[in-house]
Amino acid sequence: MISLRCRQRALRSFTTACSQDPSSSLKKLPSHARVVVIGGGVIGSSVAYHLTKMGWRDTVVVERNKMTSGTTWHAAGLMVTFGSMSSTSTSFRLYSRELYRRLEEETGQSTGFSPVGFIELATDRHRLEEFRRIADFNRTCGVEVEEIGARDVEKMFPLCRVDDVLGAFYVPGDGRVNPVDVTMALNKGTRMQGGQIFEDTAVTRVIVEEGAVKGVVTSRGTIRCEHVVNCCGMWSRQVGAASEVSIPLQAAEHYYVITDAMPEVQSSWPVIEDPASYTYIRKEGAGLMIGLFEGRAASWKEHGIPEDFAFGEIEADEERIFPFLSKAMERVPKAMDVGIKKVFCGPESFTPDMSPIVGPVPELSNYWVGAGMNSIGILTGGGVGRLLAQWIVSGSPDEDVTGIRPSRFSPLLCEPSLLARRAEEALSMVYACHFPFKQFKSARNLLHSPLHARMQEQGAHFCSMSGVESPDWFGEPGSIPVAGEPTWGFPEWFGRWREEHKACRERVVIMDTSYTSKFRIQGEHAGSFLSRLSTARVIEEEAGRAISTLWLSKEGGMEAIVVLLKLASDDFILLVPDGLHRHAESWMRQQKDPLERVSILDVSDRYAQLAIQGPRARALLERVVGAASIQAANFPTSSVREVEIEQVRVLCSRTSLTGELGYELLIPSGEAIRVYDTIVREGRQLGVAHAGVKALTSLRMEKGWRALGHELDNTDSVLEAGFLSWCALDKPGGFLGRNAVLEKLLEEERKGRRRRMLHVLVLDPSVMLYHGEPLINKGTTVATIRSASYGHTLGGAVGLAMVEAGEQIEDEGWEVQVAGMRHPVRVSSSCFYDAEDGKMEV
């Protein structure tokens, strides 16, 4: 049986390794370590290996049972670099493949890496489009993928049925590994470099003093330490909860079957993946492993994984799984003619957004997480371990982590029933076609704007923004809008989106932006505290100003792009964009000196936020607050003041989100409906319309305004991002990251070249951009589109790309590649719409 064989292999491999090294789990537990890694699966083993490799030899791994006993031992062992549209995930995969290739030479322990190749099948036009887009992007990352035909597939894997294959994508260097052997090779490398590993050592408590990790209490004694890394796999949520750390992940059932011997199967055959049939197929023993990511999944143990579960299996739900298994086996018809040696079901853990949870937690200092691998822990484990180790050692990550940081999640998502439903949906989407604009349906409606009911009445189709249900686009008032069939082209609601965009450019729109996080920062040292964090001149600015600013790390990486509403020298409201709520809050608390008299209060639920944008925005506000108070002469751009609407005191800032004349209103939540109704009533004669997130995105993309976590990430410098003018390099006291900015400025002056953001406009109006499309100059790929939308005013798709460039950008010979097809584009170092900001100064 496969399960028994894997258990025996894990125990045998580790026992052999320990017998060769005195630093085994039989040795006395140390009283101190620099880092304690909790969990002995592939992720924990990789973190420890890389920490010791980087010189932190005083690293200890503690495993409550035996190494690999959680989920690593039963992993399918695919080593696949193709398939992700994330540069970070693709980097993880490429690094892991290279690491597993060279580990045997370094340690003498085989990883079982067999580069037999990998083939992804496309059996419908939607998946063919998706895989061509992925292939375009993956090639720019260094994945050697090529598109092949059905006959090529048949030659390499003769038992594979190919009559419905429209195209396939082949990576010759990919293949399979042995998960247990990979882990043991990493462990051997850790011990060779001075690290220690202890089995049968359960962590019962993480010691926390003054908000920082100081050690762990285990079943065998206490280890004082400077850092703890939670790599507990499906137990990570429970281990985190014991320290009041939120780690939202949930186990779900994962199936594969092992066939009886099939004489035709050759060890040289590639791994096959056929998402339309929910399956991956690879050689296993004398037969085949046929694995499933079924379209109707099941969570497991939603209220907590048993502490004593090790090398365990789940009883198979054959009634639920049989239709998916039958579909999968049709891809290799001869598999149905032989017996099934084993139907295996074991747990894998999934996160709410299908991205891993990697990095420092917001609740405690020096508490790190490497968990939630979403069933790709083996093929990303080397890269995840390297990044985490590098981050711990240096204090700053060297890859884009904006989409994997623990702080991106709300603690609300740790509620067990919500997590269980989301895990089921997440697993069901692994092999779905990943259309643009697709939203999760489970774990929704957790938070509502104070204006939610009114937005529903206006026909809003909602999306989740920072967990808040927010209008994405609008159908007919009074209707429940339906998005229609998903597509890679223009969605059915494209016309609605266009009209909202047009209404902002030509008239005036109302946008419910209540999802923006809000913090009240007050106290004697509030100004100096925020000045130290911010690149802008916070202290020098007069009260009554909206201050757009960056927050940087010590190394100059961007941590947040925020707006400060300065009400007084000791009183500010901080506005934080989507996705950065917990990160911004934890960043402030980490940077605050205990002696600073500053209070930080989350007031997000106390205010609704409305944006009024468009050339008639002032005319609309004049109708509700009076013309005199908001005339341009006494209410210039970036002004902030209180106004009165229907006897409600509202904080109004003259700020644009769209490139048009604009205002934003902060309204007490209990009065939001009354104020909103007045604005809508007074706006009818001006042609006021409602606009959602899609229109906001397309409007800002035409204007070329950057957002962190979209076209910008933590690895971009302020120079590359075009934000040097936001940095008051000479202000008294400087700011966090100032020295790094100056060093970067000097370095780029010496080189005479630097990366810069380019604006891209597709000339063919029928082409859609999303992100990841290669940007080509005179036949050479120079970048990828980082984010994009449709420019309804410009008449074509628009995007932003970071390129290596000199002082001049020639606007000729440029193309963008979309699903294998090249299309001419215009490029510019400045935006294509109102580059001089004239429309905002009306």
pLDDT, tens digit (0-9, with 9 covering 90-100), for 474-527? 999 999 999 999 999 999 999 999 999 999 999 999 999 999 999 999 999 999
Count how many domains the chain has: 3
pLDDT, tens digit (0-9, with 9 covering 90-100), for 233-271? 999 999 999 999 999 999 999 999 999 999 999 999 999
279-284 and 287-292 beta bridge pairing: antiparallel
Span between the terminal Cα atoms of the chain, in Å: 75
Backbone φ and ψ for 371, nearest 5 degrees, come out as -155, 175
| Averaged pLDDT, 183-193 | 98
Domain endpoint, select from 658, 687, 716: 687
| Averaged pLDDT, 162-190 | 98
3-class secondary structure, 40? coil
Going through 75-116 in order, the beta strands assigned E by DSSP cover 78-79
3-class secondary structure, 495? helix
- pLDDT over 90 at 344, yes or no: yes
* Rounded-to-integer distance, Cα 173 and Cα 142, Å: 11
Same structural domain, 237 and 380: yes
Report which of 617, 623, 661 is spatially closest to residue 645, judged by C-alpha positions. Answer: 623
Is 8 within a domain? Answer: yes
| Averaged pLDDT, 336-359 | 96
Same structural domain, 401 and 454: no
Same structural domain, 632 and 500: no
Domain endpoint, select from 652, 671, 687: 687
3-class secondary structure, 407? helix
* Rounded-to-integer distance, Cα 289 and Cα 309, Å: 24
DSSP letter for each residue of 724-793: GGG--TTSTT--TTHHHHHHHHHHHHHHS-EEEEEEEEESSTT----S-PEEEETTEEEEEEEEEEEETT
Tell me, what CATH number does 661's domain have?
3.30.1360.120
Same structural domain, 394 and 464: no
Tell me, what CATH number does 237's domain have?
3.50.50.60
3-class secondary structure, 418? helix
More confident residue, 751 or 372: 372
What pLDDT, on the 0 to 100 scale, is given for residue 841?
78
| Averaged pLDDT, 44-48 | 98
Same structural domain, 387 and 451: no
Which residue stretches of 365-478 are H helix? 377-394, 416-429, 452-457
447-448 and 468-474 beta bridge pairing: parallel
* Rounded-to-integer distance, Cα 617 and Cα 659, Å: 12
Report which of 668, 563, 560, 659 is spatially closest to residue 610, judged by C-alpha positions. Answer: 668
Is 456 within a domain? Answer: yes
pLDDT, tens digit (0-9, with 9 covering 90-100), for 361-397? 999 999 999 999 999 999 999 999 999 999 999 999 9
Is 465 within a domain? Answer: yes
Mean pLDDT, rounded, of the chain? 94
| Percent of the chain whose predicted confidence (pLDDT) is above 90 | 92
pLDDT, tens digit (0-9, with 9 covering 90-100), for 14-43? 444 444 454 454 689 999 999 999 999 999
Chain-centre distance for alpha carbon 15: 38
Give whole-number Cα distances, 818 to 130, 239, 776, in Å: 10, 44, 11
| Averaged pLDDT, 575-589 | 95
- pLDDT over 70 at 358, yes or no: yes
**Element (H or E) spanning 645, and its range?**
strand 640-645
For residue 403, the number of C-alpha atoms closer than 13 Å in the C-beta half-sphere is: 15
Domain endpoint, select from 479, 505, 531: 505
What pLDDT, on the 0 to 100 scale, is given for residue 560?
97
Handedness of CA 478, 483, 485, 488 (dihedral sign): positive
Contact call for residues 691 and 504 (beta carbons, < 8 A): yes
For residue 306, the number of C-alpha atoms closer than 13 Å in the C-beta half-sphere is: 10
- pLDDT over 60 at 591, yes or no: yes
Is 226 within a domain? Answer: yes
| Averaged pLDDT, 276-300 | 96
Domain range holding 613?
Answer: 607-687
Chain-centre distance for alpha carbon 636: 37
Q: How confident is the model at residue 9 (pLDDT cuts 50, 70, 90)?
A: low
Same structural domain, 384 and 498: no
* Rounded-to-integer distance, Cα 54 and Cα 683, Å: 62
pLDDT, tens digit (0-9, with 9 covering 90-100), for 755-806? 899 999 999 999 999 999 999 999 999 999 999 999 999 999 999 999 987 6
Is 310 within a domain? Answer: no
460-465 and 447-448 beta bridge pairing: unpaired
* Rounded-to-integer distance, Cα 218 and Cα 206, Å: 9
Same structural domain, 626 and 485: no
- pLDDT over 70 at 828, yes or no: yes
More confident residue, 630 or 168: 168
DSSP letter for each residue of 344-356: EEEEEEE-TTSS-
Give whole-number Cα distances, 664 to 512, 572, 634, 641, in Å: 10, 16, 17, 11
Q: Can you state the angle between helices 42-53 and 179-192, rounded to 10 degrees? A: 30
Q: Which residues contact 263 (CB under 8 A, 6 or more apart)?
A: 286
What pLDDT, on the 0 to 100 scale, is given for residue 308?
94
Q: Which residues pair with 708 in a beta bridge?
A: 712
What's the burial of 751, exposed, middle or buried (CB within 10 Å: 0-12/13-18/19+)? exposed
Hey, what are 48's tokens?
């420890």
Q: How confident is the model at residue 5 (pLDDT cuts 50, 70, 90)?
A: low
What pLDDT, on the 0 to 100 scale, is given for residue 807?
56
* Rounded-to-integer distance, Cα 400 and Cα 406, Å: 14
Same structural domain, 477 and 363: no
